Chains A and B, each alone.
Chain A
C-alpha cells in the first residue's frame, strides 16, 4: 500500500475516535513536553554561563573567605580587610586588578510601597571586571567615597521604571533611612555563577558607603583578573600564600572559570540522567496508552480487517496499516508535547532572565522519540491485527 494513502487512512480512523486518541496521548504529551522543556532549560542555562564568560573573559577568578570554625558560632565572619585586598595587584605577580564587593539587603520605599532589594558595595574596577555596560549615566567612581550614589542593575532598572519608581539618572530614591541619587543605569548582562546577581537585580553603591551602613556588612568576595598567561592554579597558589601570610591570617576559597564550567558539566550530566528517568517513565506510560488505544481499535475493527483480508490484503498490509496509525498517533502526541515543552521553556527563560532559544536538537529528539514509542508500542497490536483469522474477523461484531 502506498504511504500517502496509508497515512490518510490512518489520520481518518484516528479522527473517528478523537476523544480516545487524545486521552491516550496525554502521557506522550507530558513525556515529550518535559523532555523538551528540560533539555531546553539545561542548554539555555549552559549557554547563559558561556555567554557570561564570553563577555567577561575566562581570566577572572573569585576569592571568598573560608569561614573558620570558631567564627561560625560567633556571628558574621570578619571579612577581608579592604586595604589588604586593594594591595593585591601591587604585591602579587599573578593578579592584574581586583574588585572586592560587599553585599547586603535593604528596603526601597516610594509612596508607601516597600520592596526588599539587594545592594552591593563596589569599587570603580567592578564595572570593567564584570565587563558590564552602562545604559546611561556613569558608574560608581573611587571618588564617590561615602557618597549616597547608586547605580541600578539592568533588570532592576526595567522593573523600577515599569513601576514608576525611577525614570532615569539624576533622580532620588529612598533606601532604608537614606536618600540615594541614581548616577547610572546598567544594561542587563548574562548571568552565570561568576558575576554576582546584584549587577542585574540590585543597586550598586560605593563600597565605603555600604561598609559604613552596618557593621554586619563586610567584604566577603573579591574578584581578581589575572595577568595574561597566568593559569588559575598558579594564581590560586600565590593568593592563598598571600592571605595566610597576612598578620590576620585566613583561609580562602578560590573559584575559577574552569571549576564553574566543570561544575556545570557535572550538573548537566546529572540533569541528563534525571531527564532520562523522567522522560522514559512518562514515555512508557504514554506508550502503554497508545498500545491500549490500538488494541481497542483492533478489536473494534475486526470486521474491517476481515473485509480487507477478503479483498486481498496480506498480513503485512494489515500490520502496516495499524503500525502507521500508532506512529501517527504518537507523533501527534510528540507535536503537542513539543508545543508544550517549548512553551514551558519560554516561560522559564522569561522568569530566569535567560535568552530564549528554541533548541533544535530537542525538537529532533522529541519527534524521534515519539516515533520510536509509536513503533515500539504499536508493534504488538499491529501483529495481533495481522494474525487474525479472516473468517473469524469477518464474523465479528
Chain B
C-alpha cells in the first residue's frame, strides 16, 4: 500500500466572478520512504498541490487516500490532527516565529499534542541535535543565518515524527553552498531515518539528487521518472 495516493485531484480558485482551475486532474502515488522532487514552471500549481498533500487546503474534486484512507470527509479538527501528526512543513521563508527561541519554535507542534513541557524540550533538543543546531537552542531566529534558520525549521518539521516532510523550495532563499548543506540534511534524513520527503525546487541540481522527479505542467503531472541518484 502506498503512503498516499492522489486520484484526479482538481483545485480551482474563485478570482472574482471567474473560477480559475489551478490543478487539472493530478494523479500521483508516493511510497513510504521515497524522496521526490517536484519541478515545474512558476505558477503551474506546485505549491497548491503541496498544500493539498499537506491538508492545508482541500481539493475541489478528486480522491486523496492517505495510508489507504479516504480523506475527503474529514473535519477541520481531524485535518489539524493529521497536519500535527503526519505532516512536517518546511517553507522557503523558514516561517519561524520571531518572538520564540529556536527551541521554542521546535516545541510548537508538540504543544498542540498536549505534551508536557519537559517532554517537549527533550524531543526538541534531540531534533535540534539531529540538524546540528543544538548549540543555538536559545537563540532567536533573527540571531541566526538563513541556513541555520532553515535547519531549525527542519527540526520543527521533524519534531512531530511525521510520515511526510513537505518542503516548498527549501533552498530557494539560500545560496548554493548553504542550499546544498540543507539538501544533504534531507538526503541524510531520508536514507538514515527513512523519512518520506517531497520537495519542490526550481534547481535542477537539487532535483538531480532525488531518486524520483515529478514534472508538473499546467496543473497536471507531465512526467514522473525515477533516476539513478548521482552527484550534482
A residues in contact (CB < 8 Å) with B: 1-2, 5, 12-13, 16, 303-304, 307-315, 317, 390-391, 394
Contacts and interface: CB of A to CB of B under 8 A. Distances in A.
Contacts of A2: 111, 114, 116-117
Interface residues of B, number: 26
A142 B199 CA distance: 107
A314 B97 contact: no
B95 A312 contact: no
Contact of A391 (B56, B76, B111, B117): B56
B164 to A, nearest CB: 13
B85 to A, nearest CB: 7
Given A2-B116, A312-B112, A314-B76, A307 B83 contact: no
Given A1-B111, A310-B89, A391 B51 contact: yes
Interface in B4-48: none
- The list of the 3 closest CB pairs from A to B, nearest first, reads A312-B84, A314-B80, A312-B112
B91 to A, nearest CB: 8
B57 interface: yes
B95 A394 contact: yes
Nearest to B95: A307
Interface of B: 51, 54, 56-57, 76-77, 80-81, 83-85, 89, 91, 95, 97, 99, 108-109, 111-114, 116-117, 156, 160
Nearest to B116: A2
Nearest to B84: A312
A148 to B, nearest CB: 78
Given A1-B112, A5-B111, A16-B99, A312 B51 contact: no
A394 B83 CA distance: 15
Contact of B85 (A13, A312, A314, A391): A312
Given A2-B114, A391-B51, A311 B89 contact: yes
A186 B152 CA distance: 77
A312 B56 contact: no
Contacts of A311: 83-84, 89, 108-109, 112, 156, 160
Nearest to B109: A311
A317 B108 CA distance: 12
Contact of A312 (B57, B81, B99, B116): B81
B177 to A, nearest CB: 27
Specify which of B54, B80, B109, B160 lies most central, judged by the most chain A CB atoms within 10 Å of its CB. B80
A309 B109 CA distance: 10
Contacts of A313: 80, 84, 112
Nearest to B111: A1
Contacts of A390: 56-57
A139 B218 CA distance: 107
Given A304-B97, A307-B95, A314 B112 contact: yes
A391 B57 contact: yes
A315 B84 contact: no
A315 B57 CA distance: 15
9 contacts: A1-B112, A310-B83, A311-B108, A311-B109, A311-B160, A312-B113, A313-B112, A314-B80, A391-B56
A309 B80 contact: yes
Contacts of B99: 12-13, 16
Given A310-B54, A310-B56, A313-B84, 7 more contacts: A2-B114, A16-B99, A308-B112, A311-B160, A314-B80, A315-B76, A315-B80
Contacts of A304: 97
